[in-house]
Structure 1
Amino acid sequence: MKKKLILFFFLIASISAPAQTFDFEEQYKYARILSSKNPDSSEIVLNKIIDSAQKRNLPEFLVKAYYLKSYNSYLRSDAEKSLDFADKALKISTQNNYSIGKALAYRMQGTQYAKLGLLKESSTSLHNALSEVKNNNTEEGHELKGMIYNSFLILLNKNQYKEKEFYSKSAIQEFRKLKNVSRRNELLISAYTNAGYNLSEVEKFKEAKYFFEKALSLVGENNHYLRSNILNDIGFSFSKQHKPDSAVVYYRKALTIVNQYGFNEKKIEVTKNLEEAYAELHDQPNTEKYKLENLKLKDSIAYNKAMAVNKTLSKKEESFDQQLNASHKTSKGLIIACLVLIMISGIAVFNTIRLRKKHKKAVAKIYRQGISPVTYEDDPQEISEDIKTKNTSTPAEIKISPEVEEHILNGLKIFEESLEFNNKNISRYNLSNTLNINTKYLSTVIKKHKKFNFNQYINHLRISYIVNQLKNDPQYRKYKINHLAEITGYSSHSAFSLEFKKITGLHPSVFIKNLDEIS
């Protein structure tokens, strides 16, 4: 009897042992390392962390796992899932007042918004992330602050070198404070690579080479994502030096890695760079090859959300059919189901017809009268820049002489007539430089005479331009949405579509379809 009791307790102990010895910190570190090597393997570990964290009510590790899932989805260019996991992490962090978790979630939101072209939303999220850890001087705090500074670089264009330099150096400073040598070196790889890229943009190639060499000396053979990043940016540096042959060598090395491990977000950038490098070499076949590959990849990523929705609906429809067949034995249930189905179909048909009429009416109005201006909104980024410059809590009222005001208005007239607003790199900063004025004067005149903030002004000009082209030139209606986006200077299909719908109330494809019917 005594032996049986001992055996019984031994079995109980052996069953409970795995739960007690599950090392969340080590498992999370392992999943994080796998993200840069193979996101699919990382997902397996993360699912185990989520399951165990839910059972043991450990919200901190649940948040970190969802954050890393968001990052893995970002690497695959699955924007919908990336934002969904970031939202889950933010919700749990808010409920548990977990600042690190909120900063992680906001940082991932900001990074993904920037890739979608939602720069205002991205800036807000990244500033929220920084405010959560601004005074946190722990290992985790320094690490996260450095990562957030790195993310701010996505918002800046090549003319904002001083801002880029500030964020690059700030990231490096934060990472150098880490005592964990392996983690410090891992994070410094990205920071050094960013510094090399930024220096290449302003043609400081010797300094750039120094940072690239430091990054390469730290990256391991198995850190596939960071290695592809470095190789791509070295290729960019050679391209800026007008050495397309060398650029192609490094771009192709990067492409081999991203193809093997499914880093679609990076693949978009690499294929675009290859297209430009081969164009400089006058290699038409390869130029066309990578241009087509880049466009296909952009299209597939732009539509992945719609495909996911269609897949979900198909599964629901299949499930409904199975339930309907199972209930076939009960005539009463079948009749009720049929009546409900007829009712839903009728409502759907009615709503479809009503929606088509509404769309047609809206397009007809725009066709006759043009698009209506949106209501002026303060741009938080402009306000924060003004406050930073002034060193005060609120920006002071700006007074402009009539002569300067007239000069700015004439400059804006030339800017509009020359269609410079469709330039992909246009910003408040470089337009101010062109007009030889400061940014505050420019914003003030635009607000007074155009009734817009700067971003609204540019977006309204772009959408008005493309609407007029669609109205007056039927050839434009045959173009793909991503081509219309490129024409008007937007960074992506989704960014163009979101802004088009915000201003006109309609998705571009809906507008074009109805325009064909009324013109």
Structure 2
Amino acid sequence: MFRVFFLWLVVISGIVLVSAQSNPETLQLLDKAYKSLYENPDNAFQILQNIDENKESELIKQRVQIILSRAYNFKGDYAKSIERSIDNLNKNRNENNSFYADFALAQQYQSLRLYKQSIRISQTLVDKASKIKSQHYPENLSAYIYQLNASNLMVQKKWKEAEENLSQSNAELKNTDEDFIISIENQIYQTFIYISKNQINKAEKSINDIQKKLEKKPQYVFLRAFNLDNFGRINFLKKDYAKSTDNLNQALELIQNKPYDALRYRIYDDLSKNYLALKNEELYQKYYSIYKEQTDKLDKNKKDAIRNLVRLNDQYENKRLEDSHKNFVSNILIVSIICIIAILAILLFSIFEKRKTKSIQKQIDFYSKQQDFIKKIDENKISIELKADKTDADNSKKTPLISKEKEMDILARLEEFEKSEKFLNRDMSLAMLAGQLDTNTKYLSDVINRYKEKNYNNYINELRINYIAYLLKTDPAYLNYKVSYLAEKAGFSSHSAFTTVFKSVTGISPNTYIQQLTQNKK
């Protein structure tokens, strides 16, 4: 339940990246725009309009673009946020500010639950944290990187390592308004860890401490509302539903007229659960309906954002490969010069030196081929990982969409379906099955995902394979049939598809399975 807490609290990258020639007025506007993200994201758009990006350095341009991107994330407009990141990457990424571009990209991955990509980048950035301090970046960039890596470690349930990263993040902070916000976010993450470790008393103490600190900074309504929502969840776990409801209504009141859509819909969801526990059916239906309607819109927006992110990633990887190619060419030139010198030396030395030269040339050829091979892998790697992560996200367990009674009815009908042979119908689809069970595809898919712990395709395929395996065991005649006949009997469109699914379910091919049964019978 608490794993989703920090999915909504994507780190706000409000890092002041400046050069010695930065305009003080511009820096003041940037600082004001950053703080406004926690007061009212719409204000950030207005403030940043006063900055003429054409007159500013690349680092200032990145600062502007990333604040705009974060403002859209707060509003729940993930697709627009990714568009801003694409513009940012295309215009400003180069070797001198790659740390910041990598950090921004890792944040976008995390906000869309593409954890593999985010973890890969954040861990690399942590390993290079010492280099960041030696360059033109401010100290709190390291604080943000450690914080981002901590949240990724929490996804992996590596609580000890996550706490260590949060401590390192706090160690990088000083006494500025921006650092105050980072410290509050770090404390919220620490609270999540306490809850995940079932240390409720520590979690409650941490939340109270955050609340006291925010009383001195009442303008940061987002952090106050988020903390109250967490307080509501703690009280829900303690079964104090009335107090939990009061916490959530206070949080909702703080941001009611603010464009924090993602946080607002999460509060609606929490309120619906409280009213359900309080057996207030009317208010439960009211808030759940609002939550469901709005989150459907957010999910569609996230899908659009993922498509944009695929585009961003392609451009990012192309740029990285281009830079790698330049470095590779440069290295080859250096190696070539060394080889020429070596060859000239070989002409003056013995046959031993000539043999040594040949060996060097072979190593150079091997290095060149290896680089080409690695480059081809890199070009395909990211698209494969994105598809895998997207599938993981779609197949993950979700909050129930329907009442318990309806779930039980659908499960009972599924059991009857499993006893029949209707699943052998080659045309059987999710929509057809939903029609036969007198429900809709969304409810049916949700029940299968949560109770059968697999998606519809895997569910049907396993029924078919188990059925054929049963026939092979119980009816000796089937041991003499061709695999193509068995595939058709099971409702598969081809021999190869049947063989692939059979092996994925049983661990062996159909032919091997038949051979084993035949030997056992003999």
TM-score class, shorter-chain normalisation, is 0.5 to 0.7
CA–CA distance in structure 1, aligned partners of residues 256 and 443 of structure 2: 23
Aligned residue runs from structure 1 range 402-417, under 5 A:
none
Within a 5 Å distance, the mapping from 1:171-182 to structure 2 comes to 171-182=166-177
**Is the 1:165–1:195 Cα contact (8 Å) retained in structure 2?**
no
Corresponding residue SS for 2:291: helix
Contact 1:32 1:68 in 2 (8 A): yes
Match of 2:50? 48
Change (3 A) 1:184 1:95: closer
Give me the whole-angstrom Cα distance separating, in 2, the residues matched to 1:482 and 1:134: 51
* 1:136-164 Cα shifts (integer Å, max 9, x gaps): 23795542333344445655678x54x14
CA contact (8 A) 1:99 1:133 kept: no
**Distance (whole Å) between structure 2 residues aligned to residue 152 and residue 489 of structure 1:** 30
One-letter amino acid of the structure 1 residue matched with residue 97 of structure 2:
Y
For the pair 1:72 / 2:67, whether they are aligned, the reply is: no
Percent sequence identity over matched residues? 15
1:274 maps to 271
Give runs of aligned pairs for residues 20-99 of structure 1, distance below 5 A. Answer: 23-49=25-51, 52-54=52-54, 56-95=55-94, 97-99=96-98
What RMSD in Å do the two structures reach over aligned CA positions? 4.0
Please say if residues 149 and 165 of structure 2, whose CA atoms lie closer than 8 Å, have aligned partners that are also in contact.
no
Which string of whole-angstrom CA distances, capped at 9 and with x for unpartnered residues, describes residues 426-469 of structure 1? xxxxxxxxxxxxxxxxxxxxxxxxxxxxxxxxxxxxxxxxx854
Corresponding position: 1:213 with 2:215 = no
Q: Secondary structure at the match of 1:226?
A: helix
Shift of 1:291: 0.8
- CA offsets per residue over residues 344-399 of structure 1, 9 Å max, x none? xxxxxxxxxxxxxxxxxxxxxxxxxxxxxxx9999989xxxxxxxxxxxxxxxxxx
1:474 maps to 435
Q: Deviations over 1:274-326 (max 9, x none)?
A: 12222222221121111101111112223458999xxxxxxxxxxxxxxxxxx
Return the alpha-carbon distance in structure 2 between the equivalents of residues 256 and 270 of structure 1. Answer: 11
Matched, 1:249 2:246: yes
Q: Classify 1:169/1:40 alpha carbon distance in 2 versus 1 (closer, same or farther; 3 Å).
A: same
Aligned partners of 1:83 and 1:109 also within 8 Å: yes
Residue in structure 2 matched with residue 508 of structure 1 by the alignment: none
- State how 1:368-517 maps to structure 2 within 5 Å: 423-424=397-398, 469-474=430-435, 479=440, 484=445, 488=449
Q: 2:281 aligned with 1:284, yes or no?
A: yes
Contact 2:434–2:441 at 8 Å: present in 1 too? no
Conserved 8 A contact 1:28-1:46: yes
* 2:182 is the alignment partner of 1:187: yes
Gaps of 5+ in 1: 1-18, 309-374, 382-420, 426-466, 491-495, 497-519
Of the candidates 197, 201, 211, which is equivalent to residue 192 of structure 2? Answer: 197
- Segment of structure 1 superposing worse, 173-182 or 217-226: 173-182
Letter in 2 for 1:298: T
Q: Distance in 1 between matches of 2:205 and 2:384?
A: 38
In the alignment, the residues of structure 1 paired with residue 208 and residue 178 of structure 2 have an alpha-carbon distance, to the nearest angstrom, of 19
8 A contact 1:99–1:132 mirrored in 2: no
CA distance in structure 2 between the partners assigned to 1:259 and 1:175 by the alignment? 31
Structure-1 residue corresponding to 2:222: 225
Q: State how far apart, in whole Å, the 2-side matches of 1:246 and 1:483 are.
A: 35
| CA distance in structure 2 between the partners assigned to 1:221 and 1:59 by the alignment | 34
Q: How many residues align?
A: 321
Amino acid at match of 1:143: N
The one-letter amino acid paired with 1:110 is Y
In the TM superposition, residue 265 of structure 1 has moved relative to its aligned partner by 1.2
**SS of aligned partner of 2:131:** coil
Deviations 1:75-124 (A, max 9, x none): 0111111111122223334236213431442243223222xxx3333334
Secondary structure of the equivalent of 2:104? helix
Separation in 2 of the partners of 1:197 and 1:269?
16
Q: Which has the larger radius of gyration?
A: 2
Q: What displacement does 1:66 show?
A: 0.5
The one-letter code of the counterpart of 1:241 is: K
What residue identity is the alignment partner of 2:116?
Answer: K
Q: Give the structure 1 partner of residue 119 of structure 2.
A: 123
Bigger RCO (CA 8 Å, 6+ sep) = 2
The answer for the alignment partner of 2:9 in structure 1 is none
2:295 pairs with 1:293: no
User: TM-score, normalised on structure 1?
Assistant: 0.54
* 1:161-206: CA deviation from partner (whole Å, max 9, x where unpaired): 4x14432442243223322343332211111122113212332122
Distance change in 2, residues 1:27/1:282 (3 Å): same
What is the letter of the counterpart of residue 136 of structure 1? I
Q: Are 1:110 and 1:121, in contact at CA under 8 Å, matched by a contact in 2?
A: yes
Q: In the alignment, which residue of structure 2 is the partner of 1:136?
A: 132
Gaps of 5+ in 2: 1-20, 306-379, 387-394, 400-427, 456-522
Compute the TM-score of the two structures, normalised by the length of structure 2.
Answer: 0.53
Three-state SS of the structure 2 residue aligned to 1:262 is: coil
Mean Cα deviation higher: 247-256 or 295-304: 295-304
* Contact 2:431 2:440 (8 Å CA) reproduced: no
Matched AA of 1:98: N
Cα 1:199–1:475 shift into 2, 3 Å: farther
8 Å contact 1:234–1:250 — kept in the other structure? Answer: yes
Q: Cα 1:153–1:306, aligned 2, differ >3 Å: closer, same or farther?
A: closer
